[in-house]
Structures are given as C-alpha cells and as structure tokens.
Structure 1
Amino acid sequence: MRALLIFLVAAWLALPAFAEDAARQGGTADEAAEGPAIPAVTLATAARTGMQARVPVSGTLVARQPVQVFPQVTGHEITEILVEAGDMVEQGQVLARLDTDTLSALLEQAEAEYQRAEAGVSQAESSTDSAAAALVQAEATLNRIRRLRDSGNASQAALDEAIAAEAAARAQTASAADGVGVAKAALALAAASRRVARLDLQRADIVAPVGGLVSARNAELGSLSGGGADPLFTLIADGSIELAAEVIETALPSLKAGAPAEISVAGLGRIEGEVRLIPASVDPVTRLGLARIALSPQPGLRSGLFANGWVITEQREAVAVPASAVLSDSDGERVQVVRDGVVETRQVRAGLLWQGQREILEGVAEGETVIARSGAFFRDGDRVRAAQPQGEAMQPQGDAQTAREGADDMADGT
C-alpha cells in the first residue's frame, strides 16, 4: 500500500514535466517543418579596455657604476683593513691603511731639502746685493778716474784699470742674479718634492672615492700595495644595481629610454624598473642586444642574480574584441558583426594583442556585437542567435527530484 501511494504521488508531480517535454518536442517538430534552425553562436561586445605591447627580456644583475680602488703608493705593507664586502661606505671613508714609516722618513727628507733650498735663495740674494754694491763702487771709481784723466791728473793706465774693474763688477752682478734664479728653481723643486712626500703619506690611508657598497675585497694584511693587478677593493657607486637585459634584435626599434619594465628577480619577486640605456650594437652570433634597465632600490639586490621580465613598449586605452573574433586571410583582417541577429562581415584594422583581446583601430565601434568564435563559418547576411549560457540547470530533472522528495515525505507522514 505504501509503495503504491509513493508511485501515484510521483506520477502526479512529474505530469507537468512530461507535458512540457511533449510540448517542446512538438515545437521542435513544427520548427523543423517550417525551416532550418537558426544557429547559436558565442557573441561578445566590443569594449574599451587597456592594451599593452611588451618585449621579453632576461639577463643578469650588474653594478650600474663599478668603482675599482687601487693603492696610489706602491711597495708598502698593508697594516689595517677597516671594511669588508657588503659594507656601505661614504665618500672619503678610510678602507685600509699602509705602513707609514718609510713615507714619514721621505717627508722629513723632503722638508730638509726644502729648508736647504730656502737657505740657498737667501744666500744668492745676499750675493746679488754684494755684487750690486761692488758695481756701484766700480762705476763711481770709473767716473772719478775719467774726470781726473780729462784734467790730466790721472794716467791712461789708471783709467783702463777702472774700466776693467767696472766691467768685472757688472759681470759679477749678472752672475749673482742668475744665481738667485737657480736658487729659486731649486726651492721650487724642493717644494714639489715635499708636496709629493706629503701626498704619499696621506695616501697611506686608502679611502673610498665615492659612497656606495663594497662588493669585493682583495686586500690582505701583510701584503704589499701594488703587488698585483687586482684592485684592493671594488665598490658599487651609490649601491645602484641594474639589469643587463638581453633583447632580441627585432624588438630593439620599439625600445625607448624611460619605458617602464616589470622584472622578476630570482628570490626577490617582482620589481619595477625602467629602461636606462638602449643597446648600441647587436651581437652578430646571438642576434641579441644588451639594454640596461634601472631597478627600484630594494634590499637583497645583488650583482650576479638572474632576472627576467617585460618592457612595456606601448600602453593605451582602445576598443578591443576577443582575439578569436578577428579573422585573417589574403584579403586582410575582418570581424563578423551581428546586428539584429544578422551577420555583417566588416573589414577592420587590428592593432595590439593583449591578454586574449585584440585592439581594433578601425572598423568596429565601441558597443557593437561580434561573433567571438567560429566566425569563419558564417557569411554576410546569415542569421544567428546568441548561444544559451552554459551552467543552466534543466527544469525537468529538478521537478522529478522534487517529486521523489515529496513522495518520501508523504509516505513517512503516513
């Protein structure tokens, strides 16, 4: 009795679904009798959206401006090292120190030479004064002898002797003047030697020529300065790291200085950047150019890390349709526009391709409807209808399930 009751209730509740199926089948038969069914297609609306053009890049992080620090005095022992690789330093900061015993002695020697040269100048100037006084006396004696000779009170021999004495005094004066010049030249040489000795002593402190990051240290305690070809320290000016990015030759014309870039660095993730330098040449073997991309400062950036990403060469708002809606053949590019259910084949001029969307420069206006897929199967003038969205549940199944649940409830209540 219970089973019979459940069957009757389920049949009664499923009756509308069966009637609807019969009506649908009847309608389908009528449509088939009237003519062929209108095909369903996936439609899309042309909308304004952001479009981009990108160029892939990859490469290695390098120092934007490496600075090598060599000793300016050679042959002296390194006695102290004050920084290590990874330290940030300021301009003028002492990095290492050399032994100063020899340099101090050389400065003292230069100081002594300078003092002696100063004394030589003073001596030469004194000799000049003495020679000048002798010349004045010789000239006075010559004038007196000439007057006496004119009056007949002096002999010709006395006059000749006075003339010779005056000439000798004049020559002595000139020689003394030249001696002053030689002494002053010696003083200048001693001053230069003293200045070099002072500079060498100052250069015993090896300082940073710029502020930045110490990326390498080759200095070792006890070694002699200038004993090798390698620099004592290598700095990165301001700690600036950038990407030496390889770019394929066909993409180089689209690159511009200042173009934004999105770079992914190994272990650090995404970092913003911009193109700083455009490649001036292309490797004839790899066909790649080397661009420099400045990166935003971020802890953890180190030269030698691998990085890749994109340079955004174009970015704008434009009317776009799904890329599959644009058809291409020997006649050009076209889009199947749908207006009032009728297909209209329209020639277009397409632009950028970005995230499955194709920019339409000419031919389709914002808001128009196009066939998103399979547009090549339709011609101008064909009638189409929008495809039913996927995911819609079938009502009969739902009604039957409800009937079964209702029958069970009723039986339980009985």
Structure 2
Amino acid sequence: MNYEGGKLEREHLLIAEGGDVIGEGPDPARRRRRWMIAIAAAVLVAVAAWWFMGRAKPAEAPRAPAATSVTVVVPGTQEADRRATGTGTLAARREMPVGVAGEGGMVSRVLVEAGQWVREGQVLATIDRSVQTQTAASLGAQINVARSDLTLAQAELERAQSLVDRGFISKADVQRRIATRDAAAARLKVSQATASEQRARNARLDIRAPAAGLVLTRGVEPGQIVSSASGVLFRMAKGGEMEMRVLLSEADLRGVRVGSRAEVTPVGDTRTFPGEVWQVSPVIDPQTRQGTARVALRYDPALRPGGFASATIVAGSSQLPELPQSALLSDTKGNYVYIVDGENKVQRRDVTLGVVDANKVAVASGLTGSERVVLSAGAFLNPGQKVNPILQKPAR
C-alpha cells in the first residue's frame, strides 16, 4: 500500500510541457530558460511604456485670447456746410385776392378756372350791366345837348362882338353873351365828366386780374349776386411765384441769411426743389421759440399752396470731422461711434450729426477729429474691449 501511494504521488508531480514529460527532479537548464524569458518580457514592457510616455505631450497652459483687429481712421476736420432742417407750408409768394371793385350786381359770365394762367388786366368775370348801359347812353346824349348849347352861345357871342363897334349892341349885352358861352362850356364839361365816371363804373363791373399770374381759387358762379361786401371771388399767385414758410428753431434761424440756398421736398413727393431764402422773420414766437424763413420757389405743379413740405437750408459752413456712414452706430440713446483710446481699448462716444449724404456724414459735435475711430464692425465690439487697431488714411 505504501509503495503504491508513493508512486501515485510522484506521478502527480510530473508536468507535461509542450508534449514532454518533466520529471520531478530539478532541471537547472529549463529554469534558467524560463527566467530569461520572464526578464526579456519585463524589459519589453518597460521599453514600450517608455516609448508611449515619450510621445505624449505635456499639457499646455491656457493662452489669453488674441486681440481683435479693427480698422480705425483719424478723420481730422474738413469744411462742411452747416444745414438747418424744418417743416412748414407752401404758399403763393405774393397772393392777390380779387373781388368786386364797383357797385356789383348779378354775375353774367365767369371766364377762368382755377389753375389757369392769366395776363394783367384780363377779364375774369363780368357783371350784368343792362341798367348801367342805358345810363351811359343818357349821359352821352346830355353831352351832345351841352355841346350844342355851347356852339349856339359861341355863335351869338361872335355876332354881338361884330355889332358892338357899330353901336347896335351895348357892351353889357356882349358880357352877358360871354357868360352864357362860358356856362354852356361848363355844362359840357360836367356832362363829359359824368359820362366818364359812368364809363369807369361800368368798366369796374368787369372783374379783372390786377397782375399776370396763376389763378389759385375761384369762388363765384354765373347768376350769383355780388357786391363790394361779397369778399374774395378769386385768389391769384402773382407771376406764379411760390414759397415755403419754414419753421426753424431759434438756434437754427440765427445762421440763416437772405440768399441762403435751400432744398424743399413736398409731402408725398420724392423730388426736391431748389430755392433761396428771401426773407427771415425778425421775431421769434415766444410760445414755440421758433421763427419763419421764407424760401422763394419757381412754379411747379407739385408745389401746391397750402401743402406741407420739409426743407433743408444751408446755414453757413464750419470745420467738422467727416466719417463714412459705416462708422456710425445708433441705439435708443442716440447716435454714437467707437473710438480706440491710448490703451487700445474700445470706448463709446456719443455724437451729433451734421450733413449726411450717400457716402459720408459730418459730425457736428462729439468728436474733435483727432480720435481713432472704428470704421466698421462696431456692432460686434463692446466698450472696454481690447483691440488691435489698424490705421487707415481717411479718403479726401
């Protein structure tokens, strides 16, 4: 039993390796080979770990964001027109109301319409004159009677003068005939004056244009009874000349002079009409603190008296900075630009605009012209932001 148990124990100690049977006894060559394989594997693992660690880059410290590059310009100053803007109404520069100058009567004809051009003295309307015509005829007959009386008195005087030297007629009779002749001459003059007065009255029954111009309104129709108390029957614009009465603030009015150029734009029209200031109000309304500048305009059908319009008046010139419109920004607080200070930081600068055209805008206040102004992309900047300014020369 002991012998068989010991044999089984020895068999269990045998190790099969690669199909070879290893006995229980020590084998130095095999153990050295296993140790060498283990050492080589450890060296390979160490080399691989070193290689991978060498390729991995160390973590870099976070960098500060680069400053944004922006284009800036130093605008300087240029001579620019200083303009005043205002609104007002259109009117005839010289409006002429036309009414009845005589005794009046029933209107028989109206010969013109509103919007029609007329010459000086042209008949606008006529009043029935049937009665006045008969009166004029009667006065004409009286003139003929007076003239006949004068002729007879003159003939009698001449005969008396031829007989006085022969003693047939006294000098007293001659003097009476001279008086009779003079009285007949006076009656003739009275008759002629009365007839002339009647003709003048009849002529005033024709309502005539006092000067050449444009008929603006017509307020009478045939059959209407008119008199000197009837008021205005026609309104005319002398020569068709128009004007705009521009309301300006007290400060703006101070720079406006007679002869200042102006541009007028009627409401509902995209066209502008050139004009010239011909009168500046000498007083300021104490309630509105405004005054009136009257701008003379040439006639145009678009300039209708009573209409509303806006005007821009050149009120002198001054040295102002000018910028491209891309530099201008606006919000609820008003217009502003961004400037770059000495530390290259963006700062907001509120400005007041002057003349604005398609390419540039004059800055009336807020800039001296020596600042570095951001030309574009201002909407993407914030006050206090640091930038990299790139200077661009302003266009002249």
Sort the TM-score into its range (normalised by shorter chain): 0.5 to 0.7
Structure 2 residue corresponding to 1:286, chosen from 288, 293, 297: 288
CA drift of 1:200 comes to: 3.3
Partner residue, 1:82:
111
For 1:72 and 1:353, the matched residues in 2 are separated by 53
Structure 2 residue 314 is matched with structure 1 residue 312: yes
Give 1:250 shift.
2.7
Q: Write the deviation string for residues 189-209 of structure 1: whole angstroms up to 9, x where unpaired.
A: 211222223333344433322
What is the aligned partner in structure 2 of residue 133 from structure 1? 162
Q: How far apart are residue 50 of structure 1 and its match?
A: 5.7
1:217 corresponding residue in structure 2: 218
Q: Does the aligned pair in 1 maintain the 2:245–2:295 contact within 8 Å?
A: yes
1:124 counterpart (135, 153, 164)? 153
Distance 1:73 1:321 in 2: 66
1:295 is displaced (CA, Å) by: 2.3
Structure 1 partner of 2:23: none
2:197 aligned counterpart, secondary structure: helix
The one-letter code sitting in structure 2 at the alignment partner of 1:244 is R
Which residue does the alignment assign to 1:255?
Answer: 256
Superposed displacement of residue 80, structure 1: 1.4
Tell me, in whole angstroms, the C-alpha distance in 1 between the residues paired with 2:355 and 2:220. Answer: 53
- 1:97 shift after superposition: 1.9
> How far did residue 385 of structure 1 move?
5.2
Question: Which structure shows the higher helix fraction?
Answer: 1
When the two chains are superposed, the root-mean-square deviation of aligned CA atoms in Å is 4.2
**Residue 386 (str. 1) matches residue 389 (str. 2):** yes
**Cα distance in 2 for residues equivalent to 1:322 and 1:269:** 24
Indicate yes or no: 2:324 matched with 1:295. no
Give the corresponding residue for 1:275: 277
What's 1:56 paired with? 85
Post-superposition offset of 1:102:
1.2
Matches within 5 A, 1:86-101: 86-101=115-130
Rounded to whole Å, the distance in 1 between the matches of 2:362 and 2:88 is 29
TM-score w.r.t. the length of structure 1 is 0.61
Q: Quick one: higher RCO (CA 8 Å, sep 6+), 1 or 2? A: 1
Structure 1 352/172 Cα, relative in aligned 2: closer, same or farther at 3 Å? farther
Seq. identity, %: 27
Unaligned runs of 5+ in 1: 1-18, 142-164, 326-335, 344-350, 379-383, 390-414
Mark the runs of 5 or more structure 2 residues left unpaired by the alignment.
1-56, 329-338, 345-351
Output the amino acid matched with 2:269: L
TM-score, length basis structure 2: 0.63
Q: Distance in 1 between matches of 2:192 and 2:309?
A: 56
| Preserved CA contact (<8 Å) 2:72 2:391 | no
Whether the 8 Å contact between 1:216 and 1:233 is mirrored in structure 2 is yes
Residue 354 of structure 1 deviates from its aligned partner by: 4.1
**Corresponding position of 1:266:** 267
> For residue 386 of structure 1, what is the amino acid of its counterpart?
P
The one-letter code sitting in structure 1 at the alignment partner of 2:197 is V
Conserved 8 A contact 2:101-2:228: no
Paired residue total = 304
Contact 2:100 2:228 in 1 (8 A): no
Give the 3 Å change call, closer, same or farther, for CA 75–337 of structure 1 in structure 2. Answer: closer
Letter in structure 1 aligned against 2:134: A
- 1:18-60 CA-to-partner distances (Å, cap 9, x unmatched) read x9xx99x89x68xx9xxxx999776313356562211122111
The residue number in structure 1 matching 2:16 is none
2:147–2:188 Cα contact (<8 Å) kept: yes
Which residue pairs with 2:141 in the alignment?
Answer: 112
Partner Cα separation in structure 1 for residue 142 and residue 313 of structure 2: 65
Contact 2:69 2:390 in 1 (8 A): yes
Pairwise mapping of residues 346-361 of structure 1 onto structure 2 (< 5 A)?
353-355=354-356, 356-358=361-363
